[in-house]
Amino acid sequence: MSVLDYVWLGVGAVFQGPALFDLFGIAVSVTLVMVFCGLLTGIVVGATPGLAGPMAMAVSLPILISVFGYHQSALLPVMGFLIGVMKGATVGGAVPAILFNTPGTPDAYMTTLDGYPMTRKGLSGKALRVAYFSSVSGDTFSDLVLFTCAPFLAILVEAYLDFPEKTALIILSLSFIAAVVGKSVAKGLIGMALGMLAAYIGSGEDFYPRLTWGLESLAEGFSMSSVILGVLIIGEVFKSMEDLWLTRGSRKAVTIKPRDDNRLHWADVRMLLPYIRNSALIGTLIGALPGIGSTLAATLGYATGKKMHERRKSDDEPAFGEGAPQGIAATEAANSAVSGSNLIPVLSLGIPGNAAAVFLILAADSIGGFNPGPSVFKFTTASVNPELVIAFGLFTMMMFANILNWTIGGVFMRSMGVMARVPKHILMPIVLLLTLTAIYVEETKMAALLFTVGFGLLGYLFRRLEISPLPFVIAFILAGKLEETARQAFASTGGNIWFLFSSVTSTVFLLLSVLVVAAFTRSKKK
């Protein structure tokens, strides 16, 4: 099996998988249909203020698993849908930001700064086209970086890192996420520690399930779905509901008649390209680091674009913040470029970097047969490595989603303005019931709903106390792997209690963990 053979197997798994129907005599695989449906769902969700890609991923996952079952053949259709949602939501988030000054997703906030002024000038169509073109360009660029970097990084990790180094690498990743996410390193550490503790309840190697007080309902620990959906989705729903409770009313959208020429001309594209290029690079670099979200990428992309615009702009052109299309391009290219490269740490190291990646890991964990991490990229020659085929299948689906985005995404996106009129206070309780139902159909235990609401309360408190929920969730996912790798490292070094310092690499990783916490503690002064 050569590398090319694996690539073809991955492409074949997507295009020649089980067919759903025939189109002009050509069998259309169910995976392609799922990517298509996911993309449209993602655009709708992204265009609806209050909803976000992870929410749609959360509630659709149990339904998808029910449809496709717990078998390796379910991986590509299920993950295809989730990837479609991830990409669609990135594009859709700009719609309400531009039309109604309401960001559909948090990272689209910067888009409002120039998008809404353009709408007020009657240039909403042009603003949407700029956002779409920049978003899809940034996303495609980021995917290409992912395809080339993830396998190499994984091969390097697998070739040079043994158990002690892998343990130290997980510690470094957790420290990095705790340090960089949110406004306070200390709060990041608290969130991370709580996530680890939640993961250790009911687990362990002893016959007695630890930290359960003998309670049978805790003996199997907390399910990943309850914890992740509780903290990420229900917590956000509770917080949004409180905001709506305080404001009572909903904002009335103002409709402004668009001007005649709202098209994106070749001259516009040429003008935007330098901004898109810079922001795509910024977004891709930031996305490759676990835990740093697309909001920071959008902010940095916007700031960089603003500097460039100040140097280049003529007197009659609007400045950033006054309806400059370059501002939309700089923001959208940056926040969309995060989505592809965010999967680099997931696929190469098994470390999720954002909420969307968390749901891809949750899907892989629920279905089985695919464990994101360095072992995925083992190019075995004697026999086929099925995980590697899945990985190339994922890359193929991402490219297919990009093609769909380039061809039909723009038209669909521009028709989604109506979604911003859906009242958020009606939507939120429905999302809550939908999420709880999704948990129940997977777990079939009322106790799971109580746990989910409990973790939702924790997620709400995190948000109110300015503790980012991401270190908690990522630590919950990685805690088991950290303990398992540490046990293996301890055993492989013959019970050496200093096993983490047994090599230069692991020692450097540990030193970096301390340094990153110390450095960010100093730099994040209020």
Partner 1 sequence: MPKINFNADFIIGVGALVLGCLILFVWIPLDVETGLVEKVRSRIVIGDSLAPSLAASVLILGGVLLMFKSYRTSGRAELSWSSLKFIALILAAVGLSLAVMRWTGPISAHLLNADYRSLRDTVPWKYAGYFWGGLVMVFGLISIMEHRLRWRILFISILAVLILMLVYDLPFKNLLLPPNGDI
Phi-psi region of 184 (alpha: psi -120 to 50; beta: other; left: phi over 0): beta
Q: Which is nearer to partner 1, 198 or 349 (CB)?
A: 198
Q: Which residues pair with 22 in a beta bridge?
A: 27
Rounded Cα distance between 443 and 228, Å, is 14
- Select 437 or 505, whichever has its Cβ closest to partner 1: 437
216 contacts partner 1 (rule: CB under 8 A): no
Give the footprint of partner 1 on residues 56-95 (CB under 8 A). Answer: 63, 66-67
Pick the piece of the chain touching partner 1 (CB under 8 A) from 15-23, 265-273, 375-383, 486-494. 486-494
User: Considering the rule CB under 8 A, would residue 501 count as an interface residue with partner 1?
Assistant: no
d(CA 315, CA 319): 9
| Proportion of the chain in helix, strand, coil states, percent, rounded to 5 | 75, 0, 25
The binding track of 113-152 with respect to partner 1, each residue x by CB under 8 A or -, is: ----------------------------------------
Q: Is 491 in the site for partner 1 (CB under 8 A)?
A: yes
Closest C-alpha among 111, 22, 18 to residue 68: 18
According to CB under 8 A, which one of 277, 421, 425, 481 is a site residue for partner 1?
A: 425
Interatomic CA distance for residues 84 and 342, integer angstroms: 15
Q: Which stretch binds partner 1 (CB under 8 A): 50-58, 354-362, 363-371, 437-445?
A: 437-445
Kindly identify the residues of this chain, within the stretch 293-322, that bind partner 1 according to CB under 8 A.
none
* C-alpha span between 316 and 171 (Å, rounded): 53
Examine residue 220 and tell whether it contacts partner 1 (CB under 8 A): no
CB 29 within 8 A of CB 16: yes
**Alpha-carbon gap, residue 403 to 395, rounded angstroms:** 12
DSSP symbol at 421: G
x-marked contacts with partner 1 along 444-463 as a string, rule CB under 8 A: xxxx-xx--x---x--xx--
Residues 6+ apart with CB under 8 A from 382: 1
Q: Which of 52, 86, 434, 478 binds partner 1 (CB under 8 A)?
A: 434
CB 477 within 8 A of CB 221: no
State which residue, 58 or 280, has the beta carbon closest to partner 1.
58
Burial of 141 (0-12, 13-18, 19+ CB in 10 A): buried
Q: What is the DSSP string of 9-40?
A: HHHHHHHSSSEEEEETTEEEEHHHHHHHHHHH
Q: Does 505 bind partner 1 (CB under 8 A)?
A: no
Task: Name the residue nearer to partner 1 (CB basis): 369 or 480.
Answer: 480
> Could you tell me the smallest distance in angstroms from the CB atom of residue 67 to partner 1?
7
Nearest distance in Å: CB 479, partner 1 = 7
Distance CA 116, CA 456 (A): 33
Binding mask 163-202 for partner 1 (x = CB under 8 A): ---------------------xxxxxxx-xxx-xx--x--
Q: Does 411 bind partner 1 (CB under 8 A)?
A: no
Whether 254 contacts 99, CB under 8 Å:
no
Residue number, 86 or 241, with CB nearest to partner 1? 241
Closest CB to partner 1 among 404 and 431? 431
> Taking the complex as a whole, how short is the minimal distance between the CB of residue 393 and partner 1, in angstroms?
25
Q: Which has the closest alpha carbon to 178: 469, 457, 466? A: 469
Token pair of 398 as six digits: 């991402």
Q: Find the binder of partner 1 among 466, 511, 514, 519 (CB under 8 A).
A: 466
In the bound state with partner 1, the residue whose beta carbon lies nearer, of 204 and 369, is 204
Q: And the tokens for 218?
A: 């805790």
**Looking at 21-29, 374-382, 387-395, 426-434, which segment touches partner 1 (CB under 8 A)?**
426-434
- What is the C-alpha radius of gyration for the chain, rounded to an integer number of angstroms? 23
- Tell me the residue length of the chain: 526
Residue 241 CB, nearest approach to partner 1 (Å)? 6
Under the rule (CB under 8 A), what is the footprint of partner 1?
63, 66-67, 184-190, 192-194, 196-197, 200, 204-208, 210-213, 238, 241-242, 244-246, 248, 425-426, 428-430, 432-434, 436-437, 440-441, 444-447, 449-450, 453, 457, 460-461, 464-467, 479, 482-483, 486-487, 490-491, 495, 497, 521, 525-526
